[in-house]
Structure 1
């Protein structure tokens, strides 16, 4: 059945992207070609049953790929809906977001940091959008883990900061004064959820964060 093999090679190149739904040759086309060849084969020189079995196996693989593609699409849609439901359930809850950018609304808030390994000294810096340090906070906890400090919104000179967007920079060093890995964390209460973009966004009292940046939800 070399004719069918040639037709498959010409019309249905190997599927390399499971998300690509544009398959030029479907299972119905395959069956039509197979039946047509059986009807027009030479009765004095019938087709090799081994090759016939091989062609049926190819058809089975094509059908499996089609079904797998549909299943993946359904799983993707279900995952997206579950993500949206999960985000909506966070409204009113306090969450912890990973990232340096945050919004200061004029009220005291909690700024945090995460250490993967113990540190000798940890310092938090609140900077404006120009990169200038406005507030310096010496953290007490230096063991590995997540920690938060209360910040009243005042600068090092005792002046209250105006509401706006700022950055939290964490600098952690070991006993040899070498910088170790650390992450900036911000706490905020979820006020609304934006489902309209390419990713789910949470609008919180401390700024807007992608759902994927939320490391913890609930608690005080």
Structure 2
């Protein structure tokens, strides 16, 4: 437990007061209770309810101490589990919210999107770093939920800073489409107790924002 210092007035001088462990507090509590019972007035003994209340307080203090110890152990175990789980992601591809389009060594890029409802037509525009549309992919008859696409960069095209945007519709009615991006995990860290993924794009992303792993 955290040590807290304070002062107590004794003959005009100050002395430190420290909080002890729950076990020590319980031991002192029991000694005080026994002393109280030994020295109680025989004509006015302690009520059973009062004694029960004091015993309950002792058990509460001990229980809280055990709970704190258990929670600390669980927290440490959870941190280790996070590290092991995160380490297995290094080198793998993850699907996240976003519209970055990362081209691999084979010249191919993969992206995705999530539809709020079925769409008869989907248009995916590939945009370069200058904001110019350099290619378009058209898809038809896509169901509600997560969908994907593949794109191959033309020979000689700069692939730095590529993004994409998605528009979808059914019978002239716009269907909401959230872009999803694939990225590779290069490292992990647990700064601040949160598992964070370091990505090949240079970004960092909390593990709980991962949509899928491949």
The TM-score normalised by the length of structure 1 is 0.67
What's the offset of the Cα at 1:77?
Answer: 1.8
2:181 matched residue in structure 1: 186
Deviations 1:26-54 (A, max 9, x none): 34224413422431442323211221112
Q: Is it true that 1:163 corresponds to 2:156 in the alignment? A: no
Give the Cα–Cα distance (whole angstroms) in 2 for the partners of residues 161 and 72 of structure 1.
Answer: 52
Counterpart mapping for 1:131-146 below 5 A: 132=131, 134-135=133-134, 136-146=136-146
Q: Is it true that 1:60 corresponds to 2:22 in the alignment? A: no
More contact order relative to length (CA 8 Å, sep ≥ 6): 1
1:217 matched residue in structure 2: 213
1:118 matched residue in structure 2: 118
Q: Is it true that 1:201 corresponds to 2:196 in the alignment? A: yes
1:98 to 90, 96, 99: 96
3-state SS of paired residue (1:140):
strand
1:73 matched residue in structure 2: 72
**Cα-Cα RMSD:** 3.3
3-state SS of paired residue (2:95):
strand
- Does the 8 Å contact 2:116/2:175 carry over to 1? no
Q: Is it true that 1:29 corresponds to 2:28 in the alignment? A: no
Give the Cα–Cα distance (whole angstroms) in 1 for the partners of residues 79 and 168 of structure 2.
Answer: 37
Larger radius of gyration: 2
- Does the 8 Å contact 2:96/2:182 carry over to 1? no
Give the Cα–Cα distance (whole angstroms) in 1 for the partners of residues 69 and 129 of structure 2.
Answer: 47
Give the Cα–Cα distance (whole angstroms) in 1 for the partners of residues 35 and 115 of structure 2.
Answer: 73
1:20 matched residue in structure 2: none
2:84 matched residue in structure 1: 85
- Does the 8 Å contact 1:98/1:183 carry over to 2? no
1:7 matched residue in structure 2: none
- Does the 8 Å contact 1:105/1:205 carry over to 2? no
Give the Cα–Cα distance (whole angstroms) in 2 for the partners of residues 173 and 62 of structure 1.
Answer: 62
Give the Cα–Cα distance (whole angstroms) in 2 for the partners of residues 123 and 207 of structure 1.
Answer: 28
Query: Structure 1: which 5+ residue stretches go unaligned?
Result: 1-22
Query: Structure 2: which 5+ residue stretches go unaligned?
Result: 1-18
Give the Cα–Cα distance (whole angstroms) in 2 for the partners of residues 139 and 81 of structure 1.
Answer: 44
The TM-score normalised by the length of structure 2 is 0.68
